[in-house]
Amino acid sequence: MPIKLEGIFPPVPTPFDSDGEILPNKLQANLALWNRTGLHGYVVLGSNGEAVMLTESEKIALWQAARAAIPRDKLFLVGAGLESTRASIALAKRAAESGADAAMFVTPSYYKSTMKPAALIQHYRAIADASPLPTIVYNMPAATALDIDADTVIQLAEHPNIIGIKDSSGNVAKYAHIVRAVRPDFSVLAGSGGYAYPALCVGAQGAVAALANVAPRECVALYDAFRAGRHNDARALQLRLVQLNAAVTTRWSVPGLKAALEELNQGFYGGPPRRPLLPLAEADRAALRQVMRDAGII
């Protein structure tokens, strides 16, 4: 049965101990808590999962742990994009063996001057041809300094095994351009909770949002309000959450996200990021708490 990308998906952080070792059981414990909140699925090893920090065997261990903790009625998405096409395909196969439902591939970007539409198109088509999993394009300009354009996405959407894009550009005009041009079952997912509601308004079908880790019920409520046509409710939630979203993304990045999980005091494991990411400084943590209070989540 084909999967449909719809709803709110947190890109879950990867728990490390104080020596930097992965803690798959903490990931499972976190998932058990999130499972109670109405989220529609998870992205395991996206940017917020510190995928670029992990070895292949660590990735597989985390995916296997996640698979065991994610109910079958929620989507289990993974980040499997690497710089080379062949390595991305190989990792997608590992993800499939680990039980994932679909795989996201961030745009290659190291040789960014060469990553023109033709290069990106052959990259994603080769992946989609070879991957046992449905393929999702992942656009993340803040990390890659590369922004895939609408025309390239529209061409990619012609491939039956490319089912959507997570786009973290925040360029809602681009989302509208894509939505108008692609087949109905190709999903655009907003890449952040800071513009989830306006993205839905122009036809996005959901969001992959770091915010959904720390405010899962609020994000799902925003989505449900939009789907029910309760636009005033959706807008109110969006305005209430926009600064909290910034806190766990652009302002303090993964260290902010992990600290926010801890500050919730709901049993989530945050823990330190892997170096060179530095744990949130204490002064920033105090400011984070204030943002969380302002958003009404603590």
Contacting positions for a second copy (CB under 8 A): 20, 47, 50, 52-55, 83-87, 108, 110-115, 118-120, 122-123, 126, 142-143, 145, 170-173, 176-177, 179-180, 192, 194-195, 197-199, 201-203, 229, 231, 235, 238-240, 242-243, 245-246, 250, 253-255, 274-278
* Shortest spacing between CB 234 and a second copy, in angstroms: 8
| Smallest distance from a second copy to CB 287, Å | 13
Please indicate whether residue 166 is annotated as part of the active site.
Answer: yes
- Write down the least CB distance from residue 110 to a second copy, Å: 5
Distance CA 157, CA 147 (A): 17
Task: Between 74 and 166, name the residue whose CB sits nearer to a second copy.
Answer: 166
> Looking at beta carbons only, is 99 or 279 nearer to a second copy?
279
Angstrom distances, CA of residue 248 to CA of 2, 115, 256: 32, 29, 5
Q: Which is nearer to a second copy, 1 or 145 (CB)?
A: 145
| Residue 108 DSSP label | P
CB 128, min distance to a second copy, A: 13
* Tokens of residue 189, six digits: 């997912």
Please tell me which residue in 74, 166, 174, 258 is annotated as part of the active site: 166
Long-range contacts of 167-175 (CB under 8 A, 24+ apart): 167/139, 167/191, 168/138, 168/139, 168/140, 168/141, 168/142, 168/192, 169/139, 169/141, 170/194, 170/195, 171/147, 172/198, 172/199, 172/202, 174/149, 174/150, 175/199, 175/202, 175/203, 175/204
Query: Of 203, 70, 180, 191, which Cα lies nearest the Cα of 136?
Result: 191
Residue closer to a second copy, measured from CB, 28 or 48: 48
- Residues marked as catalytic: 166
